[in-house]
Amino acid sequence: MNIFFIIIVFIAAFPNTGYPQAEGNVISASGNEVEVNIGSADGVAIGQELRIYREETSIHPATGRIIKGGSKDICIIAVTGVDSNASRGSIKSCVEGERPEKGDKVSKGGKGGEAPAVQSALPAPIPEAPVGKGDLYIKTEPPGAIIIIDGKELTNKTPVSIPFLKAGTHNVSIRKDNMGLDTQVNVVPDDITKVSLKLEAMKGRLKVISNPPESKVFLDGELKGETPLIIKNVVSGPHNLRLEKEGYVDKKEIIKIDIEKVNEYSYILKPVSILSIKSNIDGASVKINDKDIGVTPIEIKLEPGKYKVAVSKNYYKGSTSYVNLSIKERKEMNIVLEGEKGIVIITSVTPGANIFIDGNRVGVTPFRSDLISAGEHIVLVQLNGFKDWQKKVEIVKDKSLQLEVKLEPLTGRLWVKTSPPGAYVLIDGQKVGTTPIENLEVNTGKRIVVIKKERYNEISETINISPDRDYKIYKKMNRGEYENITSW
């Protein structure tokens, strides 16, 4: 009874005053580096000092109960890095023979935890606020971030140097796009405090509700679950949200996620109707109420109602119509697009050449037609003994396209040698040179070759030139009769 009375008197005499609220434990300790589980959310800032201590206990000899016997200082650490719920620091000083261990207590200044039973008859001293001013240098990864210090946004972006700041703790917020960081920095008087921070994606939570429930939720194309649904750790900024449920119209929306809050979106899904659109020309563009939907053939899920349907394709007359859809109705539309027409005129130096458009024979030169559909076409002109002429053309609605075709004759190659050389060579009466003649292009078909040389008998021969083939003549010329040596 007397022992209990003494303990009550002692506690009443020495109340727990001057002990800070930010308390936690050592997570890990290796060498001079210590990590604890209190951070910027608890008011911890880079440059601050944290006290590491250990609670002492004993066992009551009579009852066997554990009795707390106060606390024992271990060391002081200086904070070098801060996250929202954790801090890292280096050992500044330790009680002789002591080192921090996992599970030790930590407090943000003063005597953390419960007041020690026997430490001092006075409350823990309140640390004096630093006096003076200092410089703060902040760089971030990535750079170019906005800095907000104690609620005031700076003009310059990181990396940035802020001179003549009041010494002590400052609240620092950093933002860039959807990344950021909130922390506290302790500015040392008459010195430059340098801080390097890596920005992380800011996140929030998304809550999706739908009527009817159990609708599939897709966020940025990825299935996340069914409504009602809360999605945690969603990066801040815009996202594509889509809801799907069988028998109902899909709901699509670009949403914005704000940080550190629950972003709630609620939807009422409407029963679906189906509109199927086909056209005689596949790949025609489809617009519903002037909004691009896709190309034919296509099926579209729509809410019941009246819609404007426009179908179009290059070189065809477009079609616009209106359709009414009832609840859960399925309706089909078959659209016939009529091709536009243009005028084509084709002439050639050599008449009677066959004309083909897109592989179909349409007539001979000279040619004229105003029934050719507008658009791109392949025109081919052919005539025996001449090279094919081909061209890709575009026919425009109600406009005339005129083509003047010059057909090139097919040729073979002629070689002529004589003994003696220097003889004149004529082909179909036209002089082409003197022997020896090599690799001479000659129009295909039957040709009369005449070889003449002064004091020698004239030689005349009819030959047949084939396309892309060589024809070789070798003649021995005599003053009297000539001898045909060879032809190859």
pLDDT by position in tens, the chain (length 488): 444 433 333 333 333 333 345 788 998 888 788 998 888 778 888 888 899 988 876 555 545 555 556 778 888 988 888 887 888 888 888 887 788 888 888 987 543 333 333 333 334 444 555 678 999 999 999 999 999 998 899 989 999 999 999 999 999 989 888 788 888 899 999 899 999 888 888 888 899 999 999 999 999 999 999 999 999 888 888 999 999 998 888 899 999 988 767 899 999 998 888 999 999 888 999 999 999 999 999 998 888 889 999 999 888 888 999 999 988 888 999 999 887 888 899 998 888 999 999 999 989 999 998 888 888 899 999 998 888 999 999 888 878 889 999 988 888 889 999 999 999 999 999 999 999 999 898 888 888 999 998 889 899 999 888 887 888 999 998 886 544 444 43
Structure tokens at 225: 């679950």
Distance CA(26)–CA(88), nearest Å, equals 10
Determine the 3-state secondary structure of 224 from DSSP.
strand
Distance CA(458)–CA(452), nearest Å, equals 5
- From the list 314, 441, 287, the residue with the least C-alpha distance to 374 is 314
Residue 60's pLDDT is what? 52
Tell me the domains of the chain and their CATH numbers. 2-107 (2.40.10.410), 133-201 (2.60.40.10), 203-268 (2.60.40.1120), 273-335 (2.60.40.1120), 341-405 (2.60.40.10), 411-487 (2.60.40.10)
Q: Give the CA angle between residues 363, 364, 368 to the nearest 5°.
A: 70
Rg of the Cα trace of the chain? 48
Residue 483's pLDDT is what? 47
Long-range contacts (CB closer than 8 Å, 24 or more residues apart) made by 255-262: 255/206, 257/203, 257/204, 257/206, 258/204, 259/180, 259/202, 259/203, 259/204, 260/202, 260/204, 261/204, 261/205, 262/204, 262/205, 262/206, 262/207, 262/230
Determine the 3-state secondary structure of 14 from DSSP.
coil
Residue 11's pLDDT is what? 35
Residue 57's pLDDT is what? 66
Residue 397's pLDDT is what? 82
The DSSP symbol for 150 reads: T
Question: With contact defined as beta carbons under 8 Å apart, do 405 and 393 qualify?
Answer: no
Residue 418's pLDDT is what? 92
Residue 259's pLDDT is what? 79
Strands (E), 95-221: 105-107, 133-141, 146-149, 152-153, 160-166, 168-176, 179-187, 192-198, 200-201, 203-211, 216-219
Residue 128's pLDDT is what? 54
User: Model-level pTM?
Assistant: 0.37
Beta pairing partners, 463: 447
